[in-house]
Structure formats: C-alpha cells, structure tokens
Amino acid sequence: MRNDNISTKYTVIKNGKIALADLNQQFSEDVLRGLSRSAKALPCKYIYDETGSQLFCRIMELPEYYLTRCETELLEMHKDSIGSLIDGERCNLVELGAGDGKKTKILLEQFLEMGIDFQYCPVDISESAVKQLASELNDKFPTLEMNGLVSDYFDGLRLLSSQNHARTVVLFLGSNIGNFSPQEAEAFLIRLRDSLNHGDLVLIGFDLKKADIGLILRAYNDSSGVTEQFNLNILKRINTELGGNFDIGKFRYLSTWDTQSNAVKSFLVSTCDQTVYIEGLDTSFLFRDGEQLHTESSHKFSEHDLSRMAAKIGFDVIRNFHDSKRYFANTLWKVKK
C-alpha cells in the first residue's frame, strides 16, 4: 500500500505562503463512507489525480463534449465585456477547479492586454493540474502574478476568507457547479458568498437545460470510451493509493438522464457478485451483480434557476453571457451584503 507517500497538501506554487492539509486522510474517510452506503457513491473530485486530469483534457477535445466548445466561444465573444465589468481596483482573480485553464487563458490574455491590475490564484484538488498550469502560464505570460493552490474548493475558500483584504473576483468555469446536487450547490454558493466581501464578483459557468437530451447524454458517453476510462480512474486510484484490489475489468460505465433532477448520473456497474478488499481501510466491500456505484452527477440549469439562486443567496446578477447556440451560460454576479 502506498498511502503514506502521497503528499497531498496546500502547495503555493509561486510567491506566497504554504499551509499543510491532509487530503489523503479525507480520501480514505470518504471512500470508507461512500462504499459503506446502501447506495454506493464516491465524490467525483477523487477522479482527478494526474491521470484523471489528463483524461479530462481528452474529454474536452471530444466531438461529443459540446460544453468546452460552447464556453470557449462564449469567452472569445464576450472577453472584452467581461474585462470591462471586472476592471477596477487591484483584485485577486481566484479560479476554483481551474483544471488545465485553457479557457481561462482567453480571459487572462484579455485582462493583461487591458492593463487590469490582478493576481491570478488557481485552486484545484489535482496537484498535477495546478503545477502544469502554473508552468504553462509562467511561459505564456511572464508578467502574470500567480499563486496556485492545491486544495479542495472549501479549503481554498477558507484561505480566501482569511486573506480577503483585496477585492476578489472568483471564476468557477466549466459547469463544475453542475457536479453538486441543487442543495449542495446552494450550500456551496452560500459559503462562497460568506467568504467574499460586498461588491466582490463571481463568474460561474452553467450548462443550460436543453430539449435534446440525446445531445447531453452523448457528451457523457463518448464513442471512444474516454469518459468510461475517466470514471474508472477512481477505482484505479483506490487500488494505487489505498491498496484496493478492484478488478477494473469487472465494472462497466453507465450514464443515464435523471428527469427529476435534470442531471446526467454516471455510475460504475459491477458485472458480477464480487468482494473488493481495501488494505488501507482494512475493510471488504461486497458488490452484487448489477450494483451501481455512483461516480458523478452533471446537473443542467434553466435561466430561471440562475436568477432564482442568485437572488436567494444574495448576489446581484450583473450580466449573463451565452454562446451562439445558447447551450451554455456564464453569469457574472456581484456579492451584496
């Protein structure tokens, strides 16, 4: 078992502070809790180690994955308006779940060109993603001030609220918010608002509801099987980091549309009765033939959902931006307290 040589911690990549946190301990606890439930489920954030982050980069290139293309088009179309709306006194531009930051680079380039005074702080649970992004940005934008943080959103927010003297602009792109249930999304947005000051801004990406459910489902079930590999990566991580003995070939990937929650639900399905032992937890888990392990939810939102959420939680909607097909929205909200 390689539990003890995983160094998951807050890592500040450039000019800044270092604080330690044990994400690995949390991984063990969440796996134990998630696999002990009658309806087995694991938080999707654990898909993202180095392999998971690389697989997600491949997902974003897939012809079926319309979300990235739509948000890229949207940002290209509206980058100058977004720049004008966030311009002002110096700010911390904090990105939660930054990933490879490919789309963010559109905004960073625009903001630098406009002479906006900011420091960029990408936060991501995937250490490899933050390191890779920091190195790319150092090369591409040598004048960019940057502090990368390897942490969970909520630890990132806690750090934010302890240091929030400067004006803050938060980016939460790529429909990351869709991975939360509506209740979790609301709780997350409340914590986000509580971490910020009156007048701070957030730009959030939402994948919008569409009549064509087939289009949505294809984005999560590509013909080349990359999404399946992405979801299976969570079992591989458990094997590598917690000493599990999952036989990956005995699970298949399933994605379904849940009308009630307006979400794609992704599962790994056991193809036989089997027992999996996880050395790091010293526990065995029984999987029945056909039993589902929930790995990810991807909720879709209406325009009305966005304005209702903003009003309920305490944000003023500054402006909604769309791609040309209106498949995707980025909404700019201002904190009111």
Ligand X SMILES: C[S@@+](CC[C@H](N)C(=O)[O-])C[C@H]1O[C@@H](n2cnc3c(N)ncnc32)[C@H](O)[C@@H]1O
> What residue ranges bind ligand X (CB under 6 A)?
45, 48, 53, 56, 97-99, 103, 124-126, 129, 152-153, 173-174, 176
Could you tell me which of 10, 333, 46 has the C-alpha nearest to residue 157? 10
Q: Which of 129/329 has CB closer to ligand X?
A: 129
CB contact at 8 A, 133 and 123: no
Strand, coil or helix: what is 150? strand
Q: Which of 53/195 has CB closer to ligand X?
A: 53
Strand 328-335 relative to strand 315-322, pairing: antiparallel
- Please list, in sequence order, all residues whose beta carbon lies within 8 angstroms of the beta carbon of residue 1, skipping any fewer than 6 positions away: 242, 243, 279, 280
Nearest distance from C-beta of residue 331 to ligand X, angstroms = 15
Q: What's the burial of 314, exposed, middle or buried (CB within 10 Å: 0-12/13-18/19+)? A: middle
Nearest distance from C-beta of residue 296 to ligand X, angstroms = 9
Residue nearest to ligand X (CB): 174
Q: Which of 179/292 has CB closer to ligand X?
A: 179
Q: Which of 46/287 has CB closer to ligand X?
A: 46
The sign of the dihedral angle between the CA atoms of 218, 188, 311, 108 is negative
Q: Give the Cα separation of 216 and 64 in Å (integer).
A: 9
Nearest distance from C-beta of residue 287 to ligand X, angstroms = 25
Q: Which of 11/53 has CB closer to ligand X?
A: 53
Nearest distance from C-beta of residue 315 to ligand X, angstroms = 19
Nearest distance from C-beta of residue 76 to ligand X, angstroms = 14
Could you tell me which of 91, 42, 69 has the C-alpha nearest to residue 200? 91
Q: Which of 126/292 has CB closer to ligand X?
A: 126
Q: Which of 270/298 has CB closer to ligand X?
A: 298
Q: Give the Cα separation of 232 and 267 in Å (integer).
A: 9
Nearest distance from C-beta of residue 282 to ligand X, angstroms = 26
Rounding to the nearest 10 degrees, give the CA dihedral for residues 299, 304, 307, 308.
Answer: -80
Nearest distance from C-beta of residue 129 to ligand X, angstroms = 5
Q: Which of 204/276 has CB closer to ligand X?
A: 204
Q: Give the Cα separation of 217 and 235 in Å (integer).
A: 23
CB contact at 8 A, 107 and 171: yes
Nearest distance from C-beta of residue 173 to ligand X, angstroms = 4
Alpha helix positions (H), the chain: 23-36, 50-61, 66-86, 102-113, 127-140, 153-162, 182-195, 213-219, 226-242, 303-313
